[in-house]
Structure 1
Amino acid sequence: MHTINFQVSEEEKSFILAMADLNGMTISELVRTKLLETLEDQMDKDIYKKAMENHDTLDESISHEEMKRELGV
């Protein structure tokens, strides 16, 4: 496993320690978990945004009534 270091203030360190304790995790587990969750959420939002842009550009949806007419219902 690799190590990544970053600097925090004393106040930030205390907060991170408290949150790790509250969650029953080590600092490393907490930071790794929260960082990866945040980055994955960002990716999901970016993918959703691009999908919606494509949908808006290539929108071929029709209304319920139009679908019924096409199906002869």
Structure 2
Amino acid sequence: MAVISLRIDPEEEKLIKEYAKTKNTSVSALFRDSVLEKIENEIDLGLYIQAMKDHEDNPQSISFEDMLKELAD
């Protein structure tokens, strides 16, 4: 398992440790989960932006019923 070091000032350290404690988690898990969630959110946003661009370039729509039929096939 890799180790990543991080420099923060004492006030930030205290705040982070207290927050982790209130969430009943370790600081390590808090950082890991927070960073991974941020990455996932940015990926999701990028996919959304691309999907909207694709739709603007080639606007097509499909009814809910047709979508269900397509997914059932």
Mapping 1:19-58, distance limit 5 Å: 19-58=19-58
Distance apart, 1:60 and its partner CA: 2.6
Structure 2 unaligned blocks of 5 or more = 63-73
Runs of 4+ in 1 over 6 A off after TM superposition: none
1:5 paired with 2:9, answer no
Q: Structure 1: which 5+ runs fail to align?
A: 63-73
Shift of 1:15: 1.0
The amino acid that maps onto 1:34 is S
Which TM-score applies when normalising by structure 1? 0.77
The root-mean-square deviation of aligned C-alpha atoms, in Å, is: 1.3
Greater C-alpha Rg: 1
- Offset at residue 10 of structure 1 (A): 1.0
| Percent of aligned pairs with the same amino acid | 31
Q: How many residues were matched structurally?
A: 62
